[in-house]
Amino acid sequence: MSLLSHCGFQDGGIHDITKDEVTTGTTIIAAIYDGGVIIGADSRTTTGAYIANRVTDKLTKVCDNIYCCRSGSAADTQAITDIVAYYMDLTSIQMGEPPLVRAAANVFKNLIYENRHQLTAGVIVAGWDSRLGGQVYSINVSGTIVQQNISIGGSGSSYLYGFMDSQYKDGMTQQECENLVLNAISLAIKRDGSSGGVVRMGVINHTGQIQRKLTLGDQLPKFYDNIYEEKPVVVSGGDATMV
């Protein structure tokens, strides 16, 4: 094998992007509102610079009242979610009630931490249960778990920290929170080359079921393109006029 082939290049010296790992280079968000949680994600899946799937569903069901948003290796996150879903189904049967969101998040954390050297998986676990209400837990690729009122992840999240800090507030209504999540993902899609496609959102509350919502790419808000023309301020002083 030549050195070029070993580095992933074909004999002609052109990198074969279809051989790269399938990843959900992505933007994922979960936020608590007054009564439940909102989850949202874009739909682009990439293999390097190649878009392998433009309509991926990254809002993955763990059980009826708990969902997770996936980022990292698509295969790793899908496998982990399947394992956690199995444990939550078993727990639900044994306890005779829906599982706790915290329990699902801790199973995710244990699996990611114990296999952190083999996996590339970052997830946001969100849901509602009768004990603690709406909850959001962020688990990064090293297995660290943090409970937050709002969590963002994926490659597009680096464009959103200032925006979310300035716009999110405690006690938001469902509609306010939905608008915030939709605007944030739309902003990330505009800036991040690994985020794109449609925006999928879900509302989880006391009903114990998710309410899904879909916004197509040509229907995304474009508030960030607004350019306001300010009138010049004229200040006169002596013989000079400053604009």
Q: Which tokens go with 76? A: 């790793």
In this structure, are residues 204 and 37 in contact, taking their beta carbons and an 8 Å threshold? yes
**207 labelled catalytic:** no
| Contacts (Cβ under 8 Å, ≥6 apart) of 21 | 47, 48, 73
Closest CA to 129 of 87, 98, 93: 98
Q: CA of 33: how far to CAs of 38, 39, 168, 192, 220, in Å?
A: 7, 11, 10, 26, 22
Closest CA to 201 of 177, 218, 223: 177
In this structure, are residues 11 and 4 in contact, taking their beta carbons and an 8 Å threshold? yes
Helix (H, G, I), strand (E, B) or coil at 218: helix
d(CA 178, CA 38): 7
d(CA 67, CA 39): 8
In this structure, are residues 203 and 36 in contact, taking their beta carbons and an 8 Å threshold? yes
Catalytic residue among 24, 26, 45, 46: 26
Q: Which amino acids are annotated catalytic? A: 26
